[in-house]
């Protein structure tokens, strides 16, 4: 169990560069979701390219 807890603590992402924050803000505004949702999608998928993130956002919207 301690291994699982240690791994979870290591999964916290480092501060993102300014360019990534601009991309997050753009995607959030374009798809009308919060920037936190975009960050969470990026963290879960491990992708940082715009097309992959947009596909994940659309999948989430289709579930609504």
pLDDT band for 2, please (50, 70, 90 cuts): low
Q: What is the 3-state secondary structure (H, E, C) of the chain?
A: CHHHHHHHHHCCCCCCCHHHHHHHHHHHHHHCCCHHHHHHHHHHHCCCCHHHHHHHHHHHHHHC
Mean pLDDT of 52-62: 92
Q: State pTM to two decimals.
A: 0.68
Mean pLDDT of 35-56: 93
pLDDT of 1 higher than 60: no
């Amino acid at each position: 169990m301690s291994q699982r807890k240690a791994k979870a603590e290591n999964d916290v992402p480092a501060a993102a560069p300014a360019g990534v924050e601009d991309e997050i803000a753009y995607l959030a505004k374009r798809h009308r979701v919060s920037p936190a949702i975009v960050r969470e999608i990026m963290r879960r998928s491990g992708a940082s390219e715009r097309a992959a993130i947009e596909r994940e956002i659309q999948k989430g919207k289709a579930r609504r």
